[in-house]
Amino acid sequence: MSEEPALVPPHTRTIVELGSGDYVLIEALAEKDPETIYIGIEVDDMQCMQARSRIELQNVFVLHGSFKEIVPRLPDESIDGFIAILPDPLFIDEKKEEDWKPFYRHVYAKLKKPGAFRLVTEITDEILQPVSNEAYDRWSIWLVSAFRSIGFKVAAMVEGSPVEYSSRYLDQFRGDPERIRIATLDFVKE
């Protein structure tokens, strides 16, 4: 009797990207780390179809749908890490904090202990003027406070995005560092 091939290859970790867009980032990460399973969640059906036709890696899974609906269905404490690159303002805006916090509580619950959540996000001026250091600092303090209130601990926060990360919007936003100030926050669940 022959064994059926495993649906999920043997792996040591599982990383989920929220809003994978063109899947370029998750594909690059998966190529360098074949023992980790990478799951990308994207609502845009065309982006998912293109990713499925392009990506041949066995450790990348393309999920079509809203991460707001998919993440709550994952088992608690089953994910080693989440990544969110430039989330839609609906999922990070200061004025809508009470609307998006419940989602990130799900993210927290799904993380293993220890688990990590990397957030790369941006602040812009409402009329697209350069963002002052004071505005950036005030925003950074609010952002850290908002995620601490969920339970996350801040492991690191740096201005800018990881140089090894690339996506269409990230590359575009990097081109205007005065008006679009990016921060990378690494949160952990201990």
Residue type, 115: G
Determine the topology of domain 13-189 in CATH. Rossmann fold (3.40.50)
**Percent of the chain whose predicted confidence (pLDDT) is above 70:** 94
Q: How many residues does the chain have?
A: 190
Spans of all domains in the chain: 13-189
Instruction: Please state the rounded mean pLDDT for residues 119-143.
Output: 93
pLDDT of 66 reads 96
pTM, full prediction: 0.91
pLDDT of 126 reads 83
Q: Point out the least confidently predicted range of 5-19, 47-61, 72-86, 127-141.
A: 5-19
Give residue-wise pLDDT tens across range 17-47: 999 999 999 999 999 999 999 999 999 999 9
Q: DSSP for 11-42?
A: -SEEEEEES-TTSHHHHHHHHH-TTEEEEEEE
Instruction: Please state the rounded mean pLDDT for residues 104-125.
Output: 95
Phi, psi of 143 (to 5 degrees): -60, -45
What is the spatial distance between Cα 47 and Cα 136, in angstroms, rounded to a whole number?
32
pLDDT of 167 reads 82
Q: Average per-residue pLDDT in the chain?
A: 92
What is the spatial distance between Cα 38 and Cα 48, in angstroms, rounded to a whole number?
14
pLDDT of 1 reads 44
